[in-house]
């Protein structure tokens, strides 16, 4: 499990790091929590007759902690080791997920003056905030302990745990919420989260230097500025903020399944089997392939190419018929490409931040930017579905086509914008004096 060695006085000679597959297990609770919000919740709400835009809104609220975690990420660079933060945040995640499983997401029932749907959304938000913190800790441990030559493989396995947990875990949670007592679902979630923390006990992390709060903030801001003022830094941030590789349809596939199925039971099978079991496997395979691909070519280029493949899958679904077979093929193809994309994304971000002391803060910035892109594209996709249905009431499949088309269009527009950015950066670099190197952060 662990690679490394110790001297006679137990001082580490070489920083110990987990073999790549173990990062998948550490990231599985993150995927499970995200899958709860992106797979189980949209499906359950759609069966309750909730509008697609409101479903997208609940999804956006759940995604918010993954965007704003930059505001508390510096704490992970200042106090106890990131491993300790990981254990604590997973404990909070398990409790919050259990609470979420016990609250019915009803848009009509109320607890006093507050609809149960928004209490449910609040509990979901807490779970996402906790698991976002655990994700920051895991990525920081990866950046600090994994050798540069193995970052692609480690990113692939970490992404596989994330995406498999999101797809398979989310679908299984959707099934459990419909067929098992809520208390049973809650206990299963707690047990899985606890089991996934074991590998963290074997990660070696050097203790953080003790500094005053003011010096810490100044140092972190200085490191962040050094990264963002470099060409690699500001272009990397724009790549993360762009809709390229957002994979927003993964947040809405379970809700979209009802458009491809003749009845509720068939829709449930599509969610559990396609977006869940097989979707999780395909997603994970894509992540592993993407990770190893990122170790063998330019990681930014790999990210953009895989994003283009994802958009083409959305176009194929838009042009295809609204049948269970078409949903199966299109969804699995999209999830495979999305797995490729995410692994390349994490690999290039790990390259970007290096092994600085403020690595958690910088990772939170770039991950938050990527999650912001996923959030706004999810909103655009949901908005397109509802407005197309309203604008073309007699056109069957109009909402479905508009959603899929918007997802593809946003990616292609983002690729065009990034191509223009690269051309601008190259011209600016060519005009710079030869004696003034471009800072690398």
Count of Cβ atoms closer than 10 Å to residue 261 Cβ: 18
**Among 167, 23, 193, 164, CA closest to 100:** 193
The label of the residue with tokens 């709060």 reads 213
- Where does residue 128 rank: exposed (0-12), middle (13-18), buried (19+ CB within 10 A)? buried
CATH class of 15-199+212-431: mainly alpha
146/334 Cα distance (integer angstroms): 29
Q: What residues does each domain of the chain span? A: 15-199+212-431
Please state the pTM of the whole predicted model: 0.72
Residue 115, C-beta contacts closer than 8 angstroms, at least 6 positions apart: 106, 107, 108, 109
Rg (CA), the chain: 22
**Among 137, 204, 155, CA closest to 21:** 155
pLDDT at 133: 93
Give the dihedral of Cα atoms 52, 54, 56, 61; nearest 10 deg.
-170
Tokens matching residue 262: 């003749």
Q: pLDDT tens, position by position, for the chain (441 residues)? A: 333 333 334 444 445 668 888 998 999 999 889 888 888 888 888 887 778 778 888 888 888 898 888 888 877 877 678 889 999 999 999 999 999 888 877 766 776 667 788 888 899 999 999 999 998 899 888 888 888 777 788 888 888 888 788 877 888 888 888 889 999 999 999 999 999 999 988 888 777 666 555 666 677 677 777 777 777 788 888 888 999 988 999 888 888 998 998 888 888 888 888 888 888 889 889 988 988 888 888 888 899 999 999 999 999 999 999 999 999 999 999 999 998 998 888 888 888 777 666 777 788 888 888 888 988 998 899 899 988 887 877 676 788 999 999 999 999 999 999 889 888 877 766 554 433 333 323
pLDDT at 250: 85
Q: Break the chain down into helix, strand, coil percent, rounded to 5.
A: 80, 5, 20
pLDDT at 434: 39
């Amino acid at each position: 499990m662990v690679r490394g060695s110790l001297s006679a006085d137990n001082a580490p000679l070489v920083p110990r790091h987990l073999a790549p597959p173990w990062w998948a297990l550490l990231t599985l609770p993150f995927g499970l929590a995200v899958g709860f919000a992106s797979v189980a919740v949209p499906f359950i709400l759609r069966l309750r007759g909730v509008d697609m835009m409101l479903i997208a809104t609940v999804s956006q609220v759940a995604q918010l902690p993954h965007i704003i975690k930059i505001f508390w990420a510096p704490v992970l660079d200042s106090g106890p080791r990131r491993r300790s933060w990981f254990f604590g945040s997973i404990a909070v995640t398990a409790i919050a997920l259990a609470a979420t499983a016990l609250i019915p997401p009803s848009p009509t029932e109320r607890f006093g003056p507050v609809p149960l749907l928004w209490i449910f959304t609040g509990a979901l938000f807490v779970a996402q905030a906790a698991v976002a913190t655990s994700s920051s800790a895991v990525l920081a441990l990866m950046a600090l302990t994994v050798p540069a030559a193995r970052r692609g493989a480690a990113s692939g396995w970490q992404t596989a745990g994330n995406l498999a947990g999101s797809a398979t875990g989310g679908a299984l949670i959707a099934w459990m919420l419909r067929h098992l007592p809520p208390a049973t679902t809650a206990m299963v979630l707690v047990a899985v989260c606890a089991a996934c923390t074991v590998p963290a006990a074997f990660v070696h992390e050097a203790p953080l230097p003790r500094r005053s709060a003011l010096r810490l903030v100044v140092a972190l801001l200085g490191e962040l500025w050094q990264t963002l003022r470099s060409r690699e830094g500001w272009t990397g941030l724009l790549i993360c903020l762009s809709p390229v590789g957002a994979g927003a349809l993964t947040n809405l596939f379970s809700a979209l399944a009802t458009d491809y199925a003749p009845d509720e039971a068939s829709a449930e099978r599509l969610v559990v089997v396609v977006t869940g079991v097989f979707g999780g496997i395909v997603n994970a395979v894509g992540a592993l392939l993407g990770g190893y691909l990122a170790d063998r070519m330019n990681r930014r280029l790999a990210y953009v190419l895989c994003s283009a493949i994802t958009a083409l899958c959305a176009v194929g679904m838009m042009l295809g018929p609204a049948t269970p077979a078409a949903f199966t093929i299109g969804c699995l193809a999209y999830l495979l490409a999305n797995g490729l994309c995410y692994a390349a994304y994490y690999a290039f971000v790990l390259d970007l931040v290096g092994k600085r002391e403020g690595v958690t803060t910088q990772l939170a910035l770039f991950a938050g930017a990527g999650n912001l892109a996923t959030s706004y594209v999810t909103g655009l996709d949901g908005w397109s579905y509802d407005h197309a249905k309203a604008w073309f009431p007699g056109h069957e499949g109009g909402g479905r086509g508009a959603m899929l088309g918007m997802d593809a269009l946003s990616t292609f527009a983002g690729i065009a914008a990034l191509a223009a950015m690269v051309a601008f950066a190259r011209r600016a670099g060519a005009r710079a004096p030869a004696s003034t190197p471009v800072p690398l952060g």
